[in-house]
Amino acid sequence: VQLQASGGGLVQAGGSLKLSCTTSGVTFSRYHMAWFRQAPGNERVVVAIRRPSGDTHYGDSVKGRFTISVDDAKNTVYLDMNNLKPEDTAIYYCSAGSQFLSRSTMTRSQNYDYKGQGTQVTVSS
C-alpha cells in the first residue's frame, strides 16, 4: 500500500483548498481512509474519516467546513476544505486502516496501518 498526499499550500483565512491522496494497493470498500493533521507541538488529531461502508466522520473543529470523498476510478481520496481558519494550519496526513476498526479506535492515528507523507497547509489571518 502506498499513499501520496498533495494539494497543500498557503491560503488566506476564509479561503479553500482541496487535498488529494493518491493510493495504490487500497480498495476503499475494505479500508478506513482518514485525514489527520498535526500542528507544531501538538499531537496528531483526526480531521475526517471515510469508513468502508461509505459513512463519514469528522473532527468537531471541521464539521460543516471539510468534506472527505473518494474517487474509485482514480484511486484517490480527497479532502475539500472550506472557510479555512488560521487554526487549521498544520501538516495533513492521509492514512489507511483496517476495515475492522471500531468507532472508538478509528479516530487514533496509531491504529492506522499505512500513512503517507504529509502536505503542509498554512492559513494566514
Instruction: Report pLDDT for 62.
Output: 98
Q: What is the grid cell recorded at 54? A: 461509505
Residue among 83, 62, 75, 86 at smallest CA distance from 25: 75
Confidence of residue 35 (pLDDT cuts 50, 70, 90): very high
Instruction: Report pLDDT for 120.
Output: 98
Q: How many residues in total does the chain contain?
A: 125
31 φ/ψ sector (left φ>0, alpha ψ -120 to 50, else beta):
beta
Report how far apart, in Å, the C-alpha atoms of 43 and of each of 3, 24, 38, 83 are: 21, 27, 6, 23
